[in-house]
Amino acid sequence: MDENGRSDAAQLRVLVVHGRYRSAGPSGENEVVDDEVRLLREHGCAVEQLELASDEIAEWPAWKRATLPGRVIWSRAGQRALERAVERYRPAVIHIHNTFPLFSPAVFWQARRSGAAVVHTLHNFRPFCPAGTFLRDGRACEACLGRFPLPAIRYGCYRDSRVATIPVALMDGVHGWLRTWQRCVDRFIVVSDYERDKYVQGGWPADKIRVKYNTVWEQALPPRRPGPAFVCMSRLSPEKGVDVFLEGWRRAFPQGGPPVRLTASGPLGAELRAEYGDLPGVTFLGHVERSVLLDELTRARAVVLPSRCYEGFPRVVVEAYAAGVPLVASRVGSLAQLVEHEVTGLQVRTGDADDMAAALRRLAESDELVERLGRSARERYERLYSPAVTMGQLLGVYREAIASTSPA
Structure confidence by residue, pLDDT tens digits, 154-202: 999 998 999 999 999 999 999 999 999 999 999 999 999 999 999 999 9
Homologous superfamily (CATH) for 218-385: Glycogen Phosphorylase B; (3.40.50.2000)
Q: What H or E segment, with its residue span, contains residue 201?
A: helix 193-201
Residue 4 has pLDDT above 50, yes or no: no
* Of residues 64, 37, 63, 61, the one with CA closest to residue 51: 37
Question: Residue ranges of the domains in the chain?
Answer: 6-215+386-405, 218-385
Does 6-215+386-405 match 218-385 in CATH topology? Answer: yes
Task: Characterize the bridge pairing of strands 46-53 and 13-20.
Answer: parallel
Write the pLDDT tens digit of every residue in 313-347: 998 999 999 999 999 999 999 999 999 999 999 99
What confidence tens digit (pLDDT) does each residue in 373-404 have? 999 999 999 999 999 999 999 999 999 999 99
Q: Are the C-beta atoms of 299 and 336 separated by less than 8 Å?
A: no
Would you call 193 helix, strand, or coil by DSSP?
A: helix
**Percentage above 90 pLDDT, the chain:** 82
pLDDT in tens, 352-366: 999 999 999 999 999
pTM: 0.90
At residue 5 the predicted structure's pLDDT band, cuts being 50, 70 and 90, is very low
Q: How confident is the model at residue 9 (pLDDT cuts 50, 70, 90)?
A: low
Is 6-215+386-405 a CATH 3.30.43.10 domain? no
Count CB-CB contacts under 10 A for residue 84.
11
Strands (E), 220-360: 230-232, 260-262, 282-284, 302-305, 327-330, 345-348
How many other CB atoms are there within 10 angstroms of residue 216's CB atom?
A: 26
Output phi, psi for 258, to 5 deg: -55, 150
Burial of residue 63, with CB atoms counted within 10 A of its CB: 0-12 exposed, 13-18 middle, 19 or more buried: exposed
Identify any residues that bridge with 327 across adjacent strands, giving them in sequence order: 303, 345
What pLDDT, on the 0 to 100 scale, is given for residue 269? 94
Mean local confidence (pLDDT), 260-280: 94
Mean pLDDT of the chain: 93
